[in-house]
Amino acid sequence: MNKKMLFYKAIIWQIVGIVWITLFSYMWFGNWNKSFLFSFIVMIVSIFVYVIYEIIWEKLLLYFGKK
């Protein structure tokens, strides 16, 4: 999978996740503004962590697959 498709896959997954994170954080904060801000921050961080995870995973597969 190329990095562009990986990035799009991560964004779609984050859109799904942001819905439940927003609802859950609303129950925690009791405020929609705080809930949306928290969810946005989590979404941005999660996208980049996911992409880094996938890149490392692919490199590990290549490394251990060659042995």
Report d(CA 10, CA 30) in Å as an integer.
Answer: 28
Q: What are 56's two structure tokens?
A: 């490392």
Q: Report CA torsion sign: 27, 32, 34, 38.
A: positive
Residue found under tokens 């995870």: 53
Tell me the pTM. Answer: 0.64
Instruction: Tell me the per-residue pLDDT of 16-63, one tens digit each, with 9 for 90 and over.
Output: 888 889 999 999 999 999 999 999 898 888 889 988 999 999 999 998
Enumerate the domain spans of the chain.
Answer: 3-65
Angle formed at CA 51 by CA 14 and CA 57, multiple of 5 degrees? 125
